[in-house]
Amino acid sequence: MSTTLLLLASLLALPLAAQAPTAAAPRTVLVMGDSLSAAYGLSAAQGWVALTAEQVKRTRPGWRVVNASISGETTAGGASRIAAELQRHHPAIVVIELGANDGLRGLSLAQTRANLDRMIQAARKSGARVMLIGMRIPPNYGPDYTRGFEANFKALADQYKLPLLPFLLEPVARDRANFQADNLHPVAAAQPKIRDHVWTVLAPLLK
């Protein structure tokens, strides 16, 4: 048998993986949020999550962002969905941005915390790191509820030693021009500021 035929035969005998190594799959950042992360009233590409995905693609090779946010989502909804999302995407990082709809509806603070706790535990059990994003609400239900709502996020972050962004809308909240007509959802022009705010906590996790 000629040298060429021997070489060809040896190559054909190699496993496919040995012949052509494949690139490692990108690690995933999974965002579980509500309308503030689902780009309510905007095109999906205008929202802070999509803008973050673009920034990750440019600056953090080997990572990708998946947005599993749903407008109107409560912490109960997130807790019921997270197992399926973890199974589907196998994320390395889970960003939880939920609670605003609980607060606007005056739902039980203890239940909101329990739902977030379930999500955190599920994500950690899967091997993912968790980043928690907090929210603030108007004082419609009184100061005790308002303070307790905000305190839930810090308490959970302290309990599980999580990276915490205390208030998603911090850089835009004080200017009415940053919001749509409902005075709840930021306009497109405000989304890059929110992206940059989130990035201060997310970027160090993308190693």
Give catalytic residues, as residue numbers. 35, 182, 185
Count the helices and strands in the chain (H runs, E runs): 8, 5
Separation in Å, CA 147 to CA 98, 115, 137, 144: 17, 18, 9, 5
Name the nearest CA neighbour of 31 among 76, 77, 86: 86
Residues near 182 by Cβ (< 8 Å), separated by ≥ 6? 41
Tokens matching residue 162: 């999580």
92: Cα within 13 Å, side-chain hemisphere: 12
